[in-house]
Amino acid sequence: MILVRTVNLTKYFTSGFIRKKVVKAVDNVNIYISEGEVLGVVGESGAGKTTLCKLLLGLIKPTSGSIIFENIDITRANRKLLDSIRRKMAYIPQHPETALDPRWKLYDSLAEPLRIHKLVRGKVEEKERVLELADLVGLKEEHLSRYPYEVSGGELQRAIIAHALSLKPKFIICDEPTSMLDPSTQALILNLLKKLQEEHSLSLLFVTHDPDIATIMSHRVAVMYSGMIIETARTNDILEEPLHPYTQQFVSTVFKRTRLESDDLLSQPPIEGSSYACPFYAKCPRRMPICKTKTPPLIRVADEHYVTCHLYNESNPHTGRI
């Protein structure tokens, strides 16, 4: 069963006083996440990943499009309904050092959601629940009496995860939750998240710029570029048979694959330009005239494998599978 999905989700920002400039942070995004599934979202910095997270959490309003959670369009929900839905969502940020109040000990940070939503009765039950959360993520009781700056980065991220689990959410957004940690600590946190996801059948949106991490954590992967989801597929399919030219280059670079011929990737040099129907047009080694003027459609090429590229549009006689 699909838990959350987006329909043509779009967010534009404007900047400048004299000459207004429109930035397409999220552009016509269609994704879905089933119950108990992990969707990895990968892409370079500036691709729109964090903006997508904020939209799904309801922190910013979309320019257009919809977000459907448990068959409810939360972009049109009233405040009361939206607050009840938000209790079923949680967020694990990229910077754990800024996520908790530095004036509070970890115990109070974990207890805060329980107090706000009146989920415990009395101090005894509160302490039992906080200790249960701490144990769930591998924290000891002694850690709870410390302030955020008195614990290590790994311990702090474990506290953030415990905080995210405090309201027993169905859906958790992980926005590059290990990018600020050293490799050994990163592995521990990834293993913890994977274990919790499997044991509690959580649905995760796992954002990362590292496809290697996405393959460890995700059932499916969505590749984001310039605000668009340009390819979505099962994790193994993305790695073994990436279809979009950008995905091919991205995967090839990160994993140092040699399956793609270098002459093919450089068959056309990048060109200057500021606005084309396909955002990858200026750098694409397979660009065609249609890519310059017509927005590429979302095409299903196999079971659960979608690509936004004219190369796979059968109605176009000049296109075809690479």
pLDDT tens, 19-60?
A: 788 889 999 999 999 999 999 999 888 899 999 999 999 899
% the chain with pLDDT above 70: 91
Predicted pLDDT at 261: 39
Count other Cβ atoms within 10 Å, centred on residue 201: 10
Residues of the chain with CATH 3.40.50.300: 2-88+169-312
What is the biggest distance separating any 2 CA atoms in the chain, rounded to whole angstroms?
A: 71
pLDDT grade for 309, boundaries at 50, 70 and 90: very high
In this structure, of 9-23, 62-76, 151-165, the range with the lowest mean pLDDT score is: 9-23
For 216-266, what is each residue's pLDDT tens digit? 999 999 999 999 999 999 999 988 899 999 999 888 876 544 344 333 443
| Fold type of domain 2-88+169-312 | Rossmann fold (3.40.50)
For 63-85, what is each residue's pLDDT tens digit? 999 999 999 999 998 988 988 99
Judge whether residue 278 has pLDDT over 80. Answer: yes
Judge whether residue 319 has pLDDT over 60. Answer: no
Q: How far apart are CA 216 and CA 40, in angstroms?
A: 10
Sign of CA dihedral 155, 156, 161, 166: positive
For 173-202, what is each residue's pLDDT tens digit? 999 998 888 888 999 999 999 999 999 999
Q: How far apart are CA 220 and CA 234, in angstroms?
A: 4
